Amino acid sequence: MASTYTPLGVELQATGENAGTWGTKTNTNLQIFEQISGGFIQKSIAGGAQTTTLSVSDGSTGAELAHRMIEFTGTITGNQVVTIPLDVQNFYFLRNSTSGAYTVQFKYVTGSGDSFTFSATDKSDQLIFASASDGTNPNIITLAFGSGDGDVTTTGTQTLSNKTLTAPKIVDAGFIADANGAEQIIFQTTASAVNEVEITNAATGNAPIIGASGETNVDLSIAPKGIGRVTLGAGKIEQLAEKATISATAATGTINYDVITQAVLYYTSAATGNFTVNLRGDGSNTLNSIMDTGESITVAFLVTCTGSAYYNNAVTIDGSSITPEWQGGTAPSGGNANSIDAYTYTIFKTGDAAFTALAAQTQFA
């Protein structure tokens, strides 16, 4: 009777066979056992979408499927399928070291049994058991390891549930995602940073705190993107500082007042002529575009006057003339010598490119 072979290539010698070669064959079998129990092989699956069958070599070492750990390598440009014969029963450590954002599936060659698949971004390790549990539809059983529900790898993509992290660190502008995986909080970096934001919870009846930490005195900045605004719900503001621009400029002609840039504009040089104030968002944005109907904005313009009392004799919004309602019922007809004249403008948006303006001139000397 001739020898037969196991699914992993081990030779089963028949009684009375292989006289004179029995020892050689036995040694080969022992080498195959070593390979099965602790062998390591790298298998390239480079290329486009394809199916790769792991080889078996009866009665000799080197069978790809007869290794304990198999590392998949190569640059893949399509989804990959790696198969083993239906009768193979073994457990494997699999490592996905391929390059390319495509899946790698490990399965039996045919049948509808369970399989294991590395996701397109999962470059990690996995322990699986090829069960040979059915002659037609055997299952690949995924064990709790690697990208499954067990150990977490440093490069794999895993989901952690009910885990407690002690002093965790998120580096390299990482982010916290929402339930859909979309970015919710992004962590940006500053070289040599010493100040940071801290969040403090609170007991019953007290408010949680978003605060600044670090040096002895640290401001807390809230910065919208572009021309976006910071919106606060109902509440109490205990302290507020407005942005002021102080410029050694003499008022005259048309002065563009950019409300995005500041809430107070102070010209410290003496006015040299009467002037028009053009209220706008900034050089790229109209006031109409940054305000919603039903909103108002208040800004102040401080003008220095010496012996010649020049004044604001016209107001425009986004370059279009508007007649403000002046405090006291009369528009100013002059400035105030040797003083700082403060002009305040409260603008209400009543519709698209429609505004009502309240204005006042106040002398400070």
Q: Are residues 10 and 132 in the same domain?
A: yes
In this prediction, residue 171 carries a pLDDT of: 73
- The phi and psi torsions of 258 (rounded to 5 degrees) equal -90, 105
pLDDT of residue 165 exceeding 90, the answer is no
Residue 135 lies in a domain: yes
Residue 113 lies in a domain: yes
Q: Are residues 136 and 265 in the same domain?
A: no
Among 108, 142, 176, which residue terminates a domain? 142
Of 24-38, 41-55, 174-188, 302-316, the range with the lowest mean pLDDT is 174-188
Q: What is the pLDDT of residues 193-208, one digit of tens each?
A: 999 999 999 999 999 9
Burial of residue 140, with CB atoms counted within 10 A of its CB: 0-12 exposed, 13-18 middle, 19 or more buried: buried
Largest CA distance in the chain: 127
Q: What is the pLDDT of residues 33-67, one digit of tens each?
A: 999 999 999 999 999 999 999 999 999 999 999 99
Q: Are residues 253 and 136 in the same domain?
A: no
Residue 232 lies in a domain: no
Q: What is the pLDDT of residues 266-286, one digit of tens each?
A: 999 999 999 999 999 999 999
Among 124, 142, 160, which residue terminates a domain? 142
Residue 97 lies in a domain: yes
Q: Residue 198 has which token pair? A: 């801290």
Residue 51 lies in a domain: yes
In this prediction, residue 148 carries a pLDDT of: 45
- What's the pLDDT band for 329 if we cut at 50, 70, 90? very high
Among 142, 159, 194, which residue terminates a domain? 142
Measured from the Cβ of residue 125, the count of other Cβ atoms closer than 10 Å reads 20
Measured from the Cβ of residue 126, the count of other Cβ atoms closer than 10 Å reads 24
Q: What angle do CA 221, 223, 225 make, to 5 degrees?
A: 170
Q: What is the pLDDT of residues 1-29, one digit of tens each?
A: 688 999 999 999 888 888 788 889 999 99
Residue 119 lies in a domain: yes
Q: Are residues 128 and 256 in the same domain?
A: no
Give percent of the chain above pLDDT 70.
96
In this prediction, residue 147 carries a pLDDT of: 46
pLDDT of residue 123 exceeding 90, the answer is yes
Task: Please state the rounded mean pLDDT for residues 288-306.
Answer: 96
- The phi and psi torsions of 357 (rounded to 5 degrees) equal -120, 130
Q: Identify the CATH number of the domain in which residue 312 sits.
A: 2.60.120
List, in sequence order, every residue forming a beta bridge with 267; answer none if it has no partner. 247, 303
Q: Residue 179 has which token pair? A: 């339930």
- What is the overall mean pLDDT for the chain? 92
Domain carrying residue 111: 4-142
In this prediction, residue 19 carries a pLDDT of: 79
Residue 90 lies in a domain: yes
Residue 248 lies in a domain: yes
Overall pTM > 0.85: no
pLDDT of residue 242 exceeding 80, the answer is yes
Pick from 53, 61, 86: nearest CA to 9: 61
Task: Please state the rounded mean pLDDT for residues 74-83.
Answer: 98
C-alpha to C-alpha distance for 177 and 184, rounded to whole angstroms: 5
In total, how many domains does the chain have? 2
In this prediction, residue 151 carries a pLDDT of: 59
Please give the order of strands across the beta sheet that includes 40-44.
40-44, 69-73, 90-96, 125-130, 140-142
Q: Are residues 135 and 8 in the same domain?
A: yes
What 242-249 contacts at long range (C-beta under 8 Å, 24+ apart), as own/partner pairs, is none
